[in-house]
Structure 1
Amino acid sequence: MNNLNDSLPDLMRRVTDDLEPESPDLVERGIQRGVTLRRRRTALLSLSGAGAALATAGIIIGGSQLFAGNPAAPVAGSPSTAPSTSTSAPGSPATAPVSAPGTPADTLNRLRRLLPQELKQSSANAGYRHNMHHAEVVVDDGRGASLLTVNVVTTKPNPGCEGLHGSCTVRPDGSVITSYANESIFPYDASKNPWGIKNTVVEIFYPDGRLISIYNYNAPKQIGVRNTRANTLFSVQELTALATSDQWAFPKETDGPLRAPGNGKPTVPLAQTQQTLRSVLPSGLQFTRPETWGGGTNGFNGVSYVVNDGKGAARVEVLVQYETPVTKCTGEGPQNCEVRADGAVVGWSKNEPTYSDERQSLNGVVANRVELHYPDGRMITMTSYNGPQEKDARHTRSKPVFSTDQLLELAGKPGWKFPGTGKK
């Protein structure tokens, strides 16, 4: 961007003084559909009531309802108020925010105040995404429209860089900042992104559980429209400056009308979900390397096995949880989506590569994935790989063990129990 003024340049000067160099040793964790990112996104959704993974996501999480509730937002395209110049040094934002949490509309107002006044703003909107405050606005510097979104939430603290996509740094105050620039929103297969849409992302995880995610796109929408500029309007440094402003107010875990979709529903032991997975799979398989994640009061259960039908060992995994009901296809999640006659939303993707670079030709691991969203909020996703793990291992067979049709049949079996948080 050129000629930035008001609050953003001041933030930029402060934040670039403290930015640490990106680590060349960080391993790409996968985006959008990577298992690790899906786990983080799902955990955030369950803990805060959030992908994602993006969520990261662009991350992140699959098929979540875009806006729940409709808090008042400024009229699209209305002039922003004078931007605030109050900032804090990026190494010290672990202190409490200066203002009350407010509403998603307040978050939108804060976002618009921090933007340079010469940018044209339109299509402003705000709402709750689960327990997150979500705000978005389309901005244009005369070189093309660019969607800018922000999510703020308070959840359990992130322990470090493990499982986060992109460049990641643990700062002296204990906060974790992760970012990536101008990545395709569907990096695994260019044919899935005919619009040429890219995003640049900055996320900051604070030691006290506050999380802010800022996404910028080179198009006026996240998906489904042609890009309007070659790259995103904002750089990583500019988004970092926005994210580290002390003007953001983070909702408490108890704030918001969509507190924890799994609240009021009993937990389900991870061992039970694991046994259900084993029982619904065909007989004659060899089962090894059981794995679990989530469970307890987290509100989601994830389990997996490496199975072998005599043609090669391959991972199969399932995630079950309650979510804010999904009623339509949103452009997030798997490549294909349909709404069934019973109101369930079904998504599926075939042969998704697990890397977007030369490592894909080396390891050759692909996945079939399905998601089943019931009208009452139950959600199950199943993934089948053609190798024993998603990353860092070579494929063992030409195709995943199960097709998407088979996965949908397995996901629809009546034996699944969907875990809640065990909280009222």
Structure 2
Amino acid sequence: MKNLNDTLPELMRRATENLEPESTDLVERGMARGLTLRRRRTALFTATGATAVVATAAVIVGGNQLFAKDAPPPAASTTTKQSTTITQQAPKPATLNETKATLIKLLPARLKVAKAQVWDDGGGYQAELLVNDGKGLSLLSLAIRPPANDSGCSNQKPGTCTTRADGSRLTVMNEEIEERAAGVLFNHVYVVRPSGQSIVLSSFNGSTVTRKGAVTVEKTRAKPALTTAELIGMVDSRAWRFPPKLVESNTPDKPQPTSPGVSKPPVPVQQTLQTLRAVLPKGLQVTQPTTRGGLPDDYNAASVLVDDGKGKSYVEAFVTYEVPMIKKCGVEGAPNHCKVLPGGGVAGWDKNSPEYSDARQAKEGVLGNTAVIRYADGRYISITSYNAVGEKGSKHTRPRPAISVEKLLEMAGDKDWKFPGTKK
């Protein structure tokens, strides 16, 4: 089972991976960089396609002919031919509420809406509906984007993407298996109109469930509530209006500030390893200690294999010192679960997070528990425990990671950690 933040919105991001990147502020870049240094796991598959747009030429021509037929004849003294033109203004960008209303309006009549939410993700709009036709709840996810670059069908799964006669591109996935959510299937349609505007719709045979503060998706019915044919009909509707187009700035990006820990007194990597061993739960067999980083890098990393008698688990700690910034939850690169710390900064965690997003996950079955603390002054630490002897490249050795998220957060918050470039 995977949480909703890592399952459904991720599908939207995978579908729009080839679009132009969204502009992010320093906070987002800082958070993303921190997790990238932790060897952020990215095994995303893209789904790029196309949609239909109805040509307006026939409307304009028909309008002109009707106007000409109903117009009064020219005065007898007029010798010049009169001409009449119709100017069509581009539709105004849609608002969030208008997008939600359009999505609900286009639903088949048999479906009743149990819950609806919509939000701006910085590059377009996303929405989620829980619908019910009497056979169980079904999640419907939407992502809608203004014009942006698109790579066409070249990188898509064979047979899923086609270019239509009007130049639009359509990707269709029928009853695809969501490998990291038991029994969950989804129907998926992604269209890119000739104008570059795109719409993604996905219908699942599952719904969201909250347990102990964690949001997950679970199977609630045999099949998704909407078929791919119904999804195509919805995305091809002329009722859609799109979010505002992103305004590109001609101002070059400012260079990212250098980490304040560079060229300052380092922390020996062996000291980081010693701290990791000291904060581990008691009673574990500890083997294969390794380190990396140190000078001239601005980070330290240490890892060990631990065994509680139920199988080996790879555990890695990563410490660094970033540019101090305002910390908040919900930014790009942040963990799926997050809370703001009383003294500033954030603590985040991921529980039983799958290592892969493709068929390798079913083959290797590697899961990770991760705890992250980013302090307001720029100190950053992450600790991850896997249910395998490594992050990638080997099958799992136990059902779950040896160390729980709760214990990892306790370990990460230990006062004995020292951060490169600081005296803390």
- TM-score normalized by the length of structure 2: 0.49
> Highest CA radius of gyration, 1 or 2?
2
